[in-house]
Structure 1
Amino acid sequence: MLDFRRLEDIATQLAHEAASTDRKRGEAPRPLFDEQLFHCRSKLLVPCVNEIRDEIRALNREHKAGKLHPSRTQHVCERIVSQIQAVQRELATQQIRKNEPKRSAGWRKPIHELYQDLAQHQDWERRLAAMQRDKELMIARCTTLAEQQKMQKEVLALEGRLARCRTALAKIEKDISLRERKG
């Protein structure tokens, strides 16, 4: 049975955190999420959370009207959970992003610094992948649902960090390749 109250509570909490983050950070340079996940192509978190809330309300209305179809319900619920997890990951990584240096247009690092960045990111990638494997193994050893959910949340956060690390690695490799070709 769907617990609409619980979903609404989660969305309300996300809305508060998203508003705070949006105020501090402002718009991202590009949309935060893929259009497969969110219909809105927002550079802020609040519109994404509003989309989650709208989905929850629509599902609740269908439920109250007795018009819920099992296949649609499952699809919408999976989408809502994916959206919630994506916003939670985005919120969880704000501290990391805040500490990243900002690059101004035209600013270029010397090639030796790019190689240092590459080595650092490769090390981070290796360590994050190991941490993720360890957490995944720990999930099987969890004795309570709460422990399992906590561990799954940590795995998701690590997945997000690992994906961003790999994206940064690819960019550094591309920058090095371009610099070496130009001489």
Structure 2
Amino acid sequence: MSLPLDKLRQRVAELQHHAEQFDKAKWFDKNRYIQSQPSLFDSHVFRSKSLKLSDYVDEVQEALAHLPPPSQRHALQYAVEHIGEQIEAIIKVLKSTPVWAKENRFQPHKKAKVYRQAVKKIMQPSHELYQELSQNHEFERRLQEMISLRQDQLIKASPEQAAQLNKEILALHGRLGRCRKAISATEDKIQQQEKQSRS
């Protein structure tokens, strides 16, 4: 299964294709207002100054290639949000053209939503996965306490009580095993994402 960053790169590659088609069609050649502008977008959205849409997609791809690691949570969040803003701006220009409208006539808002979701998923490891890991560790600690408590009760228990306690201990060990599997799976996801960010 593709990681969120792979998905977003794939989406941006698709965007590059649309931008190249847009540039080839020379949509701005007859637009005097656009021709008089130094660049297509505000300087706070893009550094590039160009009337070629593909140049702006190149800037997005460059930003994706140099994302901060997940450990720098705030920097990563800012970078990803900015990339999201850039993608939205490019899509807004594309949506104003007949080519984009024709290709996406059955789903006018779906494309933009797909890019937004791809951007959002990148942020998951930097907060949701760490939160999930923390909750699982807390659950593991509570299960261990419950097992210890029942093991202490076994010492003074009657045979009937002991049978019931052993049953409960066995069930708790089952839950503990599942909890540890969940911890390992979450740690693997975080490790994969960090590896992906460094590559």
Same fold (TM over 0.5): no
**Higher relative contact order, chain-length normalized (CA < 8 Å, sep 6+):** 2
> For this structure pair, what is the TM-score category when the shorter chain's length is used for normalisation?
0.3 to 0.5
Structure-1-length-normalised TM-score: 0.39
Structure-2-length-normalised TM-score: 0.36
